[in-house]
Homo-oligomer: A and B are copies of this chain.
Amino acid sequence: MKTGFIGLGAMGAPMARYLHARGLLTVVGNRTQSKADALARELEVRAARSADNFADCDVVAMCVSLDADVLENVQALAQVLKPGAVVVDHSTVSVQTARRAAAMLHEHGIGFVDAPVSGGVEGARNGKLSVMAGGDAEAIEKVRPVLEAYASRISHMGATGAGQATKAVNQVLVAGINEAVCEGLALGEKLGLDAERLLPTLMAGAAGNWFLEKRGGTMMRSEFAPGFKSAHMLKDLRIVRDIAREASIQLSTLELALADYGRLVDQGDGDSDTSALIKLKRGN
C-alpha cells in the first residue's frame, strides 16, 4: 500500500517515520519544502513538489494546522488521486471542515477519514497515539494499517465528523486539566512545597493525570519547550467553542481556558508549551 504523508511538524514527522518503518511510506510533502526534502533524503522516499506527486498513493495521511490548510490540500488531492484512494486527516479542525473535505473527495470516488489524535509529541514519538476516527467503516478498514503504524488505540467514533467531535471533547478535558494542574502547582510553589516530593505525591492519588506526569517537573523548573504550543491550544479551543455553541451548551471551564490562553498568546507565549499557563497562575 503506497502512502503519502503531508505536514511534517512536531507530530507529523515522527508519524511519517513510523510509516516508513512499516515500509508504507512513498512520498512526503510539507509547506516548507526544505523539511520535506530533508526527510525524503534521509528515508529515501520522494519529496512532493505538488499534489501530482501523490497521484499513485492508495492513502494520503495529513497532519497540518488550520482548517484552510486541510481544505486546500484536499482540493488539490481530489484532482489527482485515483478512485478508491482514501485521505486521512489527523489535524484538529471543525466538524464542518471534515464534512466539506469528505464531500469534495466523495465526488471523485475518493474516501475520507477524519482522524485527529491525542497523546502529544510523546505519543507521536513513541508511536502510541490515540486516534479518534470518523467516516464509513470501509474507509477506516482501508487505512487501518497506516493508523496502526503510529497508534496504540484506534476508535471508530461514528460517521464523518465524529472524530473531530471526539477531539473537541478531548480538548475540553486537556485544557481544563491544564488549568487545574497549573493553578495547583502555582499554589504549591507559593506555599513553599518541594517539587520533588509534591509531584509524586499528587500523582499517587485522585489528582493523578497525564499532564501532571509529563509536564509537572518541567513547568516547576520554568521550562516551556513544546510539547504542545499554546497557540495551537488556543486554535483548538476556538474550534471547540464553535462546536459547543452549535450544540447549545455552556462550558465555563472552556471559557476560562480560552481567556487564559488568549492572554498567554498575547503576551508572547504562543510558541511555549501549554504548561506556560503556570506563569499566569503565578501572577506574573
Query: Are A184 and B169 interface neighbours, CB within 8 A?
Result: yes
- Chain A: residues with Cβ within 8 Å of the partner, total of 72
**In the assembly, what is the distance between CA of A184 and CA of B132, in Å?**
15
For the complex, is A153 an interface residue (Cβ under 8 Å from B)?
A: yes
Query: Are B180 and A168 interface neighbours, CB within 8 A?
Result: no
**In the assembly, what is the distance between CA of A173 and CA of B183, in Å?**
8
Q: Tell which of A44-52, A140-148, A193-201 binds the partner.
A: A193-201
Contact for A193 among B169, B181, B201, B256, CB less than 8 A: B169
Contact for A169 among B158, B185, B214, B247, CB less than 8 A: B185
Task: Name the B residues within 8 Å of A129 (CB-CB).
Answer: 205
**In chain B, what residue has the closest Cβ to A176?**
B180
Q: Tell which of A2-10, A29-37, A114-122 binds the partner.
A: A114-122
Question: Given the interface contacts A210-B209, A253-B179, does A170 sit within 8 Å of B202 by beta carbon?
Answer: yes
**In chain B, what residue has the closest Cβ to A211?**
B206
For the complex, is A283 an interface residue (Cβ under 8 Å from B)?
A: yes
Identify which of residues 206-234 in chain A touch chain B, using a CB-to-CB cut-off of 8 Å.
206-212, 214, 228
**In the assembly, what is the distance between CA of A240 and CA of B117, in Å?**
35
For the complex, is A91 an interface residue (Cβ under 8 Å from B)?
A: no
For the complex, is A157 an interface residue (Cβ under 8 Å from B)?
A: yes
